[in-house]
Structure 1
């Protein structure tokens, strides 16, 4: 079953770069598996993250993967 999956990556910790690489790899694998992937680089603006996960259009992700 194809899903719309959000992959959250980045952040503001010292592990940011590792998370970005891991997130890109996860996104690639999910796409290869036939899923629609929405990549999101997490920053300190948590309101923007909430808006990304719950857009007014109602077409947000069904599943969230935290890389």
Structure 2
């Protein structure tokens, strides 16, 4: 396959990707806030604490 200037091996236009990356990330911002708004931080902390406690119990039993 002949190498084409400003194209990746997969055929993607390098200039097009640079332009998209330079644009304000409206989609990325929405993606981040969407999951942040659905996450209950207190519940996650509680689940993490329970998981750590179980992990501690299991490692104590195996010795």
Give TM-score scaled by structure 1 length. Answer: 0.31
Structure number with higher helix proportion: 2
RCO greater where, 1 or 2, for CA within 8 Å and sep 6 or more?
A: 1
Question: Which one has a larger percent strand, Structure 1 or Structure 2?
Answer: 1
TM-score between the two structures when normalised by the length of structure 2:
0.33
Structure with higher Rg: it is 2
